[in-house]
């Protein structure tokens, strides 16, 4: 299996499906950029540009016609249909209350947007140009006057300011704390000009990220309805994006439709994109039911995450008749840092010897070979397969960063090779040599096996509940639970429904869950929300991890003036966190497994950072009609 998408609250800064994380920006390299006409600076040093890149030049010039990876002649029409698991009781993705419907952020845009073939670049979307001084103490957005919400109302600078203010006031506390520490104020200059002032001493780059990446809501709608952003609701404000909510049947389906009057359809950055007339999401209780529905043609695109299904399940009639395509496509994204997460808010997990002992009971080799058909690799790093992954012994700038926090970390981190996942024999689910090591570690930590074969301390047994809302995980993780029981842990695997899981995980009522962290190929202040001490009780920090050393190094990441410095500081963080073992690394796949009915088409030159099936794929109408006539799908 592949890790599922996180079931915690959606990130507040997420806007459209094409957006890939914190919007990243800084001044461009001046000489070459000016020569290429990508930016210009006046006599006062005020830079004017159409985009923003932190560590180099923008790939696309100001007069680009379309993105390299799209088909500019892609036809419009047809439907994209997929599935989601569980239930939903809200269409507001910006509230911690309720469980928002799938793709609920699809209708909202921001001032700037990213691409799928650059890591750090963002380009004007709702804005036409930006201005900023050399010290980046403010950023001025010149907005396109033609931008409209889906109800036809013009989008103005007042809506931008309102959206920033309501997110800071009613958004997730961790997000609000960050934006308030970065942005001093938002000033409306006129209807189509808005100015963000960077707070003194704050990271300008991260402040620019927040300013450019804030999703924009219609102020008049909130004024009229009296709604709050932080409440669960189905009645939602209109957005300015190419899709808008069409209909929903609670816990059954959601349909979005393309806005025929979308203001931005002819922008170069949008050419060849947003090609479907409708996007439909069907809800199912579990993956088995969803797979059966896919085989029957109830929906037509499936991104597979089960190694069992991928290896053994694709032998159904629709595939043998050639109606369905099964494909492995390249994925250049950073693998999610998923695994078995310890809830460090529980005192019993504070001793690292306990965490090491429990980790030794997970046998990746046997699990992958026996239950996952040898299809996966084991994740080592929080930034796997990237320049941000720590390797070997620390040296150079990375070592300098570690030495700056040497009084806060285990001295061995400065000299020893980076912590790697333990190894286990693949011939048996229980590696007995690891069992002996684990027992010794538990005894060192004060836990001894009583006459009932249960580890206990001060007369209390060591209990562990592994919480999940996904029955498919039971097959893969039950052997781990069994191994924990052999260690003497009173362990159980508890499956709850998605609503219960959401409530319990938001309240941190669990010992262990299968979850993780979504990191970036370029990092900034977002690290603080995920791994900083301020984020210990944040939904984006499922382990509740914090470290004074990591806190210090996060500030070094934020202050970095070059990619090399940023990368070295992140590698130092990776090295410390891997040594702290607050998550048992699990499996990852560096590809996409997809199956779809053979009327979807995509460009040959897929970009590295997005599969793009809802972005720049399209429907071949003739193929769709032919398959429909044959009864391939419903």
Nearest to 39 by CA among 121, 129, 115, 170: 129
- pLDDT of 270 over the 90 cut: yes
pLDDT at 499: 86
pLDDT of the residue at 45: 83
What is the pLDDT, as a whole number, of residue 42?
66
Is pLDDT above 80 for 621? Answer: yes
Q: Dihedrals φ, ψ of 121, to 5°? A: -85, 140
Q: Please state which of the ranges 19-28, 46-55, 197-206, 304-313 shows the lowest mean pLDDT.
A: 19-28
Q: What is the pLDDT of residue 534?
A: 83
Mean pLDDT of 391-399: 98
- Non-local (6+) Cβ contacts of 92 within 8 A are 98, 100, 104, 229, 231, 232, 233, 234, 236
Res. 472 pLDDT band, cuts 50 70 90:
confident
Enter the CATH code of domain 337-588: 3.10.105.10
- The answer to whether the beta carbons of residues 401 and 569 sit under 8 Å apart is yes
Per-residue model confidence as pLDDT tens digits over 557-590: 998 988 999 999 999 999 999 999 999 999 999 8
pLDDT of 7 over the 80 cut: no
pLDDT in tens, 354-367: 999 999 999 999 99
Q: What is the pLDDT of residues 209-254, one digit of tens each?
A: 899 999 999 999 999 999 999 999 999 999 999 999 999 999 999 9
Q: Report the Cα–Cα distance between both ends of the chain, in Å, rounded.
A: 28
Q: With 70 as the cut, is the pLDDT of residue 36 above it?
A: no
Measured in whole angstroms, the distance separating CA 374 from the mean position of its chain's CA atoms is 26
Q: What's the CA gap between 609 and 120, in Å, rounded?
A: 12
Please state the rounded mean pLDDT for residues 309-330: 96
CB 58 within 8 A of CB 38: yes
pLDDT tops 70 at residue 51 = yes
Split at pLDDT 50, 70, 90, the class of 529 is: confident
Letter string b/e over residues 181-216, b meaning 16 or more CB atoms within 10 A of that residue's CB: bbbbebebeeebbbbbebbeebbbbbbbbbbbbbbb
Q: How many CB atoms lie within 10 A of CB 16?
A: 24
Return the higher-pLDDT residue of 96 and 130.
130
Write down the domain spans for the chain: 1-328+598-634, 337-588
pLDDT band at 39; cut points 50, 70, 90? low
Query: pLDDT above 70 covers what percent of the chain?
Result: 93
Q: Evaluate if residue 29 carries a pLDDT over 70.
A: no
Does residue 280 surpass a pLDDT of 50?
yes
Extended beta strands in 426-550, E state: 448-449, 455-457, 460-461, 463-468, 490-495, 512-517
Res. 32: pLDDT tops 50: no
Band (pLDDT 50/70/90 cuts) for residue 476 is very high
What would the pLDDT profile of 533-562 be if each residue is shown by its tens digit? 988 888 889 999 999 999 999 999 998 988
Mean pLDDT across the stretch 343-363? Answer: 98
Mean pLDDT of 597-619: 96
pLDDT band at 40 (very low <50, low <70, confident <90, very high): low
Task: State residue 411's pLDDT score.
Answer: 97
For the chain, percent of residues with pLDDT exceeding 90: 81
Tell me what the pLDDT averaged over the chain comes to: 91
Tell me: pLDDT of 393 over 70: yes
Q: Please tell us whether the domain made up of 1-328+598-634 is placed in CATH 3.40.190.10.
A: yes
DSSP label of 78: -
What contacts 312, CB < 8 A, 6 or more positions away? 373
Is 30's pLDDT higher than 70? Answer: no
CA distance linking residue 514 with residue 542, whole number of Å: 10
pLDDT tens for 414-454 read 999 999 999 999 999 999 999 999 999 999 999 999 988 99
Confidence (pLDDT) at 27:
28
Per-residue confidence band for 479, with pLDDT thresholds at 50, 70 and 90: very high
Measured between alpha carbons, how far is residue 454 from residues 330, 439, 457, 464, 511 in Å? 46, 11, 10, 12, 18
User: Mean pLDDT throughout 447-463?
Assistant: 94
Q: What is the pLDDT of residue 380?
A: 97
């Amino acid at each position: 299996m592949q890790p599922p998408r996180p079931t915690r609250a959606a990130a507040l800064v997420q806007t459209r499906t094409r957006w890939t994380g914190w919007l990243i920006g800084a001044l461009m390299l001046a000489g070459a950029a000016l020569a290429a006409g990508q930016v210009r600076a006046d006599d006062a040093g005020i830079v004017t540009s159409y985009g923003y890149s932190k560590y180099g030049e923008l790939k696309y010039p100001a007069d680009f016609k379309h993105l390299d990876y799209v088909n500019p002649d892609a036809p419009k029409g047809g439907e994209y249909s997929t599935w989601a698991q569980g239930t939903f009781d809200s269409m507001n993705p910006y509230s911690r209350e309720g469980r928002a419907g799938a793709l609920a952020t699809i209708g909202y845009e921001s001032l700037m947007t990213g691409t799928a073939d650059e890591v750090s670049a963002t380009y004007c979307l709702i804005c036409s140009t930006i201005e900023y001084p050399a010290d980046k103490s403010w950023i001025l957005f010149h907005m396109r006057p033609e931008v409209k919400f889906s109800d036809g109302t013009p989008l103005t600078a007042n809506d931008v300011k309102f959206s920033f203010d309501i997110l800071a006031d009613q958004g997730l506390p961790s997000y609000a704390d960050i934006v308030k520490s970065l942005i001093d104020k938002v000033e409306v200059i006129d209807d189509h000009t808005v100015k963000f002032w960077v707070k003194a001493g704050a990271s300008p780059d991260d402040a620019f990220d927040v300013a450019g990446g804030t999703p924009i809501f219609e102020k008049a709608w909130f004024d009229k309805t009296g709604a709050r952003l932080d409440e669960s609701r189905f009645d939602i404000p209109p957005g300015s994006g190419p899709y808008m909510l069409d209909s929903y049947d609670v816990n059954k389906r959601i349909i979005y439709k393309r806005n025929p009057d979308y203001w931005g359809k002819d922008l170069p950055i949008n050419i060849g994109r947003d090609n479907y007339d409708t996007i439909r999401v069907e809800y199912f209780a579990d993956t088995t039911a969803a797979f059966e529905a896919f085989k029957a043609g109830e929906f037509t695109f499936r991104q597979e995450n089960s190694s069992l299904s991928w290896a053994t399940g694709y032998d159904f009639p629709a595939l043998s008749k050639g109606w369905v395509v099964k494909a492995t496509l390249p994925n250049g994204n950073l693998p999610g840092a998923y695994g078995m997460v310890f809830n460090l808010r529980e005192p019993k997990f504070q001793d690292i010897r306990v965490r090491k002992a429990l980790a030794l009971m997970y046998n990746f080799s046997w699990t992958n070979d026996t239950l996952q058909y040898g299809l996966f690799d084991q994740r080592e790093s929080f930034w796997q397969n990237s320049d941000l992954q720590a390797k070997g012994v620390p040296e150079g700038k990375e070592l300098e960063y570690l030495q700056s926090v040497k009084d806060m970390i285990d001295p061995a981190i400065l000299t020893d090779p980076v912590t790697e996942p333990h190894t286990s024999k693949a011939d048996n689910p229980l590696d007995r040599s690891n069992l002996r090591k684990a027992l010794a570690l538990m005894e060192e930590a004060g836990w001894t096996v009583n006459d009932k074969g249960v580890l206990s301390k001060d007369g209390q047994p060591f209990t562990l509940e592994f919480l999940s809302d996904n029955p498919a995980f039971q097959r893969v993780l039950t052997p781990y639970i069994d191994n924990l029981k052999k260690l003497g842990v009173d362990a159980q695997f508890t499956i709850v429904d998605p609503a219960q899981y959401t409530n319990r995980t938001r309240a941190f009522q669990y010992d262990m869950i299968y979850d993780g962290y979504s990191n970036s190929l370029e990092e900034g202040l977002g690290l603080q929300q995920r791994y900083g001490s301020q984020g210990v009780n944040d939904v984006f920090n499922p382990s509740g991890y914090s470290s004074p050393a990591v806190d210090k190094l996060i500030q070094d990441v934020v202050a970095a003036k070059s990619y090399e410095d940023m990368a070295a500081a992140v590698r130092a963080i990776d090295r410390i966190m891997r040594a702290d073992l607050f998550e048992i690394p699990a499996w990852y796949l560096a590809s996409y497994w997809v199956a779809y009915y053979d009327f979807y088409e995509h460009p040959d030159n897929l970009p590295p950072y997005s599969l793009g099936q809802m972005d720049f794929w399209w429907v071949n109408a003739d193929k769709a009609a032919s398959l429909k006539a044959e009864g391939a799908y419903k």
